[in-house]
Amino acid sequence: MQIKILCTRWGHENIPIEAFLEKVISAGYDGVDSWLPENKNDRKVFIKRSKELGLPIVVQQHQAKGADIRTFCRSFEYHLNAAMECEPVIINSHSGRDFFTINEQLAIIDAAENFSAGNNIAIAHETHRGRIGFSPGNAKELFKLRPSMKVTADFSHWVCVTESYLEGFKETVNEAIRRTVHIHARVGFPEGPQIPDPRLSEWAEPLNYFTGLWSGIIREKEAEGISLLTITTEFGPPPYMWTTSPGNTPVASQWEVNLFIMHLLRDIIAPQQ
């Protein structure tokens, strides 16, 4: 099994695309996790240079909008089609809204499955607050009704939503791991989706919990015999990143924290290969 560790574009929007991609390569990442730039020229540069550098892309679909299911599904399908322009290895999707009914959430999963089958692309529904699959309780219902649903495992959201390390949801977590095709490697804690700095000893408990989860997913995917697993280091900028007050200065460098997570993941992967 190949494991590719990707760099998030989130937080680096102001860096010119070519400079960002060169920075990604120099840092030792294997690919990028990004939405497609809206500007046509930027989009053309992003796609062209990523191909030239041999960087696989997990593309983000987070743009779909709509307060009702019909409007959302039309927007959803439009943005899925747009995402295919960069020939991604996976589409990571912020799917639906948490206030949609179960039947409405199932309609979004079905739309994704139809698109996936028609375009030979995996669509992973991120376990994200405010979206379908926002909690293990909600995900359990969706898993039961849609056996083929795939996910991006970002358990930092579930830890925050449930204010726990998911002790009461082991069966659902295991099922989510079975359905995982992509990982967002960010460390949350019961009161928030991102700890300030995983390099600090006072945050050892959540870091150890999440590294255990990531290691378990890697072992599970190896046992399944899949050919590729992608992982994005996804500590974010403010407001995910904590800041000082006054001044609103980030307490740590997002880039350095994600590099730390990348090297940590390399250490996790090495004994298993």
Tell me the per-residue pLDDT of 152-161, one tens digit each, with 9 for 90 and over: 999 999 999 9
C-alpha span between 18 and 49 (Å, rounded): 7
pLDDT confidence of residue 272: 61
Question: What is the C-alpha to C-alpha distance for residues 273 and 264, in angstroms, rounded to an integer?
Answer: 15
Distance CA 116, CA 26 (A): 33
Q: How many Å separate Cα 169 from the centre of its chain?
A: 20
Q: What is the mean pLDDT of residues 7-27?
A: 96
Kindly provide the residue ranges of all beta strands, DSSP E only, lying in the chain, ordered along the sequence: 2-8, 31-34, 57-61, 90-93, 122-126, 151-153, 180-185, 228-233
Please state the φ and ψ torsions of residue 26, each to the nearest 5 degrees.
-60, -35
Write down the mean pLDDT value for the chain: 96
> What is the model's pLDDT at position 270?
83
Contact 45, 18 (CB under 8 A): yes
Digit-coded pLDDT (tens) for 81-132: 999 999 999 999 999 999 999 999 999 999 999 999 999 999 999 999 999 9
Residue with tokens 């495992």: 153
pLDDT digits (tens, 9 = 90+) for 222-237: 999 999 999 999 999 9
- Judged on CB neighbours under 10 Å (0-12, 13-18, 19+), 90 is buried
Confidence check: pLDDT of 47 > 80: yes
Reported residue count of the chain is 273
Is 90 exceeded by the pLDDT of residue 247?
A: no
Q: Phi, psi at residue 257, to the nearest 5°?
A: -65, -45
61's tokens:
């679909």
Residue 273 has pLDDT above 60, yes or no: no
The stretch 188-200 carries a mean pLDDT of: 98
